Chain A
Amino acid sequence: MLTITSTSLSGGQGKTTLIYFLGKKLVSKGHKVLVVDLDPQHNLSTYLRVNVDRDDPSCLEFIQGNFNSVADCIYPVEEVKNLFIIPSDEGLEIANDYLASSGFGIVKLRNQLDLVKNEFKFDYCLIDTPPQKSQLCQTGIGASDYVCVPVETKSKGVICLDRTLDAIETLNNSKIINTKLLAVLPFRDRLFGMNRSIEGKKALEQISSRIEPERLLPPWVESVQPEKAVNRNITLEDIDFGELSHPFDVLAEQLEQLEQSEQLV
């Protein structure tokens, strides 16, 4: 099971969108995917229509180890074959205190996911994180083999990229974890016909100057279609806008290659 975390320290940079479309892309290619909603805003759980009742085990119990069987925390996404989720609700906020006081906050999620690995054969685990450098975000990064960072093609996105890459480096410097940057997704690239907005162009230049060229995904074009697809819990292909999901084709292929090379090891 290859674990990928979507993280970006500012709000609205596309973390949840990335996990949503990447997850659906991977299952459409026949993989078994588990997504983890580490954000108490629980957007991902809502998008995938998995709303836990107040007394159902969710991500909070998963992190705290408060379950009989790890299976209790894993829910199938209805009508999407081979997509599963560990959903969250507002209650997940408490996990920040729990992780802070547990002493091993950074590796907590990783340890819990090892339990999943032992019992189930998921090909990929995709983790959505909240938009702050909180304990939840850190444990999400700590659990991952690779991180993907979506950032808006705006100055805010560039600043956010710097902060996020810094945070990842600091966590890696702890030597407790070792996660690698897989990809940066330029989010909401504003195109007018064939032209890019001036701000977008500048931001893209800044983004590319900060990472190795092969880490940069094709931009995710600004459009209302993704939101439409998300609102109906379907894919862009379902509404005939498949060409928009090109960045996810590229990312999914990169992941498949990584998965294969991991199996060889």
Chain B
Amino acid sequence: MTDDIYDQLSKKKTDKKVPPRSEDGFNLSQQPSPTSDTPAKKAAAKKESDDLDLVTTAKSKSIALEVNVRNQLDEYLFHHKEVSWDTFIEAAVHHALTSKAHHSIVEDAASRLAKRKLSSTKRRIKTMTANVYNSK
């Protein structure tokens, strides 16, 4: 083994490419397969993508939002019929996370979670007490 890493690298490099990724990291094509290399398949794949213009989305997660935030959101959605609520949130989150403020988001989120934990505990205690009284 020679000591020259440049030599070693150039000998060992292959021309393997990987499935291209979009700006946000997800693969641009949903099912990249090495067999899609034949011209016919390529053309077919291209046609399909022209027809559909698919966007890959992550698994859905239901989210509970604070009432105030939900109201703000509804207000926007009322005025902007051209967006859906999930694409709107998606864009908002994307902007926030790529903005300068992204470090403070974690702090804010942590304090919100702390508050929420407190309030849900309170609610549970309340309901429990209510149930206890009701059952009497």
Q: Which residues of A contact B (CB under 8 A)?
A: 10-12, 32, 40, 53-57, 61, 66-72, 74, 76, 82, 84, 89-94, 119-122, 131-132
Given contacts A71-B9, A71-B12, A119-B8, contact A55 B23 (CB under 8 A): no
Contacts of B11 in A (CB 8 A): 71
Cα A70 to Cα B16 with chains together (Å): 11
Q: Is B61 an interface residue (CB 8 A)?
A: no
Which of A11, A82, A90 lies in contact with B5, CB distance below 8 A? Answer: A82
B13 with A90: CB separation less than 8 A: no
- From B24-32, B42-50, B66-74, B111-119, the one touching the partner chain is B24-32
Q: Is B79 an interface residue (CB 8 A)?
A: no
Contacts of A69 in B (CB 8 A): 12-14, 16
A72 with B5: CB separation less than 8 A: no
**Distance (Å) between the CB of B44 and the closest chain A CB?**
20
B1 with A90: CB separation less than 8 A: no
**Distance (Å) between the CB of A59 and the closest chain B CB?**
12
A67 with B16: CB separation less than 8 A: yes
A55 with B17: CB separation less than 8 A: yes
- With most chain A CB atoms within 10 A of its CB, the pick from B1, B12, B20, B106 is B12
Cα A122 to Cα B4 with chains together (Å): 10
B16 with A90: CB separation less than 8 A: no
A90 with B21: CB separation less than 8 A: yes
**Distance (Å) between the CB of A43 and the closest chain B CB?**
14
Given contacts A57-B18, A71-B8, contact A93 B28 (CB under 8 A): no
Q: Please give me the 6 A-B residue pairs with the lowest Cβ-Cβ distance, nearest first.
A: A71-B12, A91-B21, A54-B20, A91-B25, A68-B14, A55-B17
Given contacts A89-B21, A91-B25, A92-B25, contact A68 B16 (CB under 8 A): yes
A121 with B1: CB separation less than 8 A: yes
**Additional A-B contacts beyond A54-B21, A57-B16, A57-B18 (15; CB < 8 A):** A11-B102, A12-B103, A56-B17, A61-B18, A69-B14, A71-B9, A71-B13, A72-B14, A76-B6, A76-B9, A82-B5, A90-B21, A91-B26, A93-B24, A121-B3
